[in-house]
Amino acid sequence: MSLAREQGAPPRRQGLARPPRLDPFWVVKRLLPRTLFGRSLLIITTPVILAQAIATFYFYDQHWERVTNNQAFGVAGEIAMVIEQLGRDQTPEDRGVTLAMVTRTTDLMVTFQPDERLPNWRRQHLFGILEHTLGRALDEKVGRPWIIDTHVAHEWYGINVQLPDGVLHVLSPERRLFSFTSWVFILWMAGSSLLLFTIAIMFMRNQIRPIRRLAIAAEAFGKGRDTPAFKPEGASEVRQAATAFLQMRERIQRQISQRTEMLAGVSHDLRTPLTRMRLQLAMLPEAQEVEELKADVTEMEGMIEAYLAFARGEGAEPPAPTDVGALLSDVVANARREGRRVELTLPEMAIVVPLRANDFRRCVANLVGNAVRYAGRAWVTLQRQGGHLYVLIDDDGPGIPVDMREDVFRPFHRLDGSRNQATGGVGLGLGIARDIANRHGGNVLLEDSPRGGLRAVIRLPV
């Protein structure tokens, strides 16, 4: 695996290793929310849902089912009592008196049709819980063939019982068989839960918002963008983390400022004696030793300039929206004016991201300069994949061994084998390029190029 793949270069299409399908931890991890808000809400809602589910099940098992069972058996018992009384009555007039008394004293409407038979009677298939309970009660209390009609009228149940000499028709109101307080209880639980969940979501959003702002501020600072409006807020732990972040940002900015001031003094202190040495050498008669000293002074001035460029830090240039394609076109055009063979490939749509344009131009120019210095041609490609911007710089040169690709980013480090020391710089070009990319929140990586040489990848978050 190449170094670029290990550190986040553009992904190639490869088969992803999948964990075992039967791994329960992997399944749970995939099902859990990824955000802190989602996980916090899950922590709050899961116990409430479980508690309500247990309470509902207990209520249904201990109350609703028992009440429904008692009511159904009560109706079935009254029907059995009517049947028994009708069996004792000797005349139709006596049966009429019994039926009138039942209708007057109970909620049941009872009629008797002599010489009637239940049509095609057989064991009825019941679907509802209430029908099953009522059917079981009729079997135990009445013990005769019966049919339950649930469509006889709205909120009424029809119960037809086959007697030896006719059919007993019973109309029972639904309230005699079903307790509506069960639905009231369930709806009250569901409504209160929704209200509590809404309140929890509102409070949780207020608690998560400071953490999200802290993450945005940290990400912006990592990309080299300032966030002056950020201030600590939220819970005490979040305020503590935000305060620590502000202190860290202040220390880093103070360190950068001190380094810039120090380097300004170093630049002045070193350039002054070098200038005097150059003037004194110019006044000496021409000789081979004098020319060698002049070359040494020129080399020292180049090393100082390169070192100052490497250690300059962020500087005063603020990030601004920059057309990356136009910036790369300028860098390539400058290289072509110097007689270099460089090709540029840009996407169809312009890509504009906040950049320190001058620093980023120097980063790309250093990598392009390295590519054309040690190879015959260079190819520059701009890509955008997901949340990252990639600038690929390929060459067809000798490349760099894999085990030495990290060493070339060290200051003043030069390769003797794959890089020509006579034509090379002071060993700061790649270090400056990575330093600039790091200040933008990105990185510079090296990997094998499909052109046969080396590929330098600038990866920046957008």
d(CA 330, CA 317): 19
Q: 329 and 261, same structural domain? A: no
* Average of per-residue pLDDT across 361-374: 88
Question: Closest Cα to residue 427, out of 441, 409, 439?
Answer: 409
Q: Is 224 exposed, middle or buried (0-12, 13-18, 19+ CB in 10 A)?
A: buried
**pLDDT tens for each residue of 263-275:** 667 766 777 788 8
Domain with 326 in it? 317-461
Cβ atoms of residues 240 and 234 within 8 Å: no
Say whether both 404 and 452 belong to one domain. Answer: yes
pLDDT band (50, 70, 90) for residue 1: very low
Is residue 334 domain-shared with residue 293, that is, in the same domain?
A: no
Residue 431: CB atoms within 10 Å: 21
389: Cβ contacts below 8 Å, ≥ 6 apart? 324, 351, 353, 382, 383, 442, 458, 459, 460, 461, 462
Nearest in space to 285 (alpha carbons), one of 297, 294, 274? 294
Residues 304 and 376 in one domain: no
- Answer whether 351's CB lies under 8 Å from 323's CB: yes
Verify that 252 and 375 share a domain, yes or no. no
Number of domains present in the structure of the chain:
3
Work out the mean pLDDT of the chain and round it to a whole number. 79
Which of 265, 280, 313 finishes a domain? 313
For residues 306 and 321, state if they share a domain: no
Are residue 117 and residue 241 in the same domain, yes or no?
no
Residue 448: name the closest of 413, 409, 396 by CA: 396
What's the token pair of residue 113?
């049709």
What tens digit of pLDDT does each residue of 19-48 get? 445 566 666 677 777 777 777 878 888 888
Predicted confidence at residue 2, as pLDDT, reads 39
Task: Mark whether 448 and 330 lie in a shared domain.
Answer: yes
Q: Which pLDDT value is given to residue 380? A: 94
- The predicted-structure confidence for 386-426, as pLDDT tens digits, reads as follows 888 999 999 988 888 888 888 888 766 666 544 444 445 55
Q: What is the pLDDT of residue 23?
A: 66
Q: Which of 122, 150, 182 is the last residue of a domain?
A: 182
pLDDT of residue 422: 46
Q: Which two tokens stand for residue 276?
A: 């005097």
Q: What CATH number is associated with residue 236?
A: 1.10.287.130
**34: how many CB neighbours lie within 10 A of its CB?**
9
Confidence band (pLDDT; 50, 70, 90) for 9? Answer: very low
pLDDT, tens digit, 9 for 90 and up, residues 49-76: 888 778 777 766 666 677 778 888 888 8
pLDDT of residue 311: 56
* 4 in any annotated domain: no
265 lies in a domain? Answer: yes
- Evaluate if residue 90 carries a pLDDT over 50: yes
Instruction: Confirm whether 76 is domain-assigned.
Output: yes
Does 120 fall in a domain? yes
pLDDT score of 426: 56
377/399 same-domain check:
yes
Cα(246)–Cα(251) distance, integer angstroms: 9
Which residue do the tokens 């509506």 mark? 180
In the prediction, which pLDDT does 60 show?
A: 66
**What is the model's pLDDT at position 419?**
40
pLDDT higher than 90, residue 429: no
Residue 188 lies in a domain: no
Does residue 200 lie within any of the structural domains?
Answer: no
- Provide φ and ψ at 178, rounded to 5°: -135, 140
pLDDT, tens digit, 9 for 90 and up, residues 190-248 = 788 888 888 888 888 888 888 888 888 888 787 667 777 788 888 888 889 889 988 88
pLDDT over 80 at 102, yes or no: yes
The candidate with the shortest Cα–Cα distance to 360, out of 394, 388, 321, 399, is 321
CATH classification of the domain holding 357: 3.30.565.10
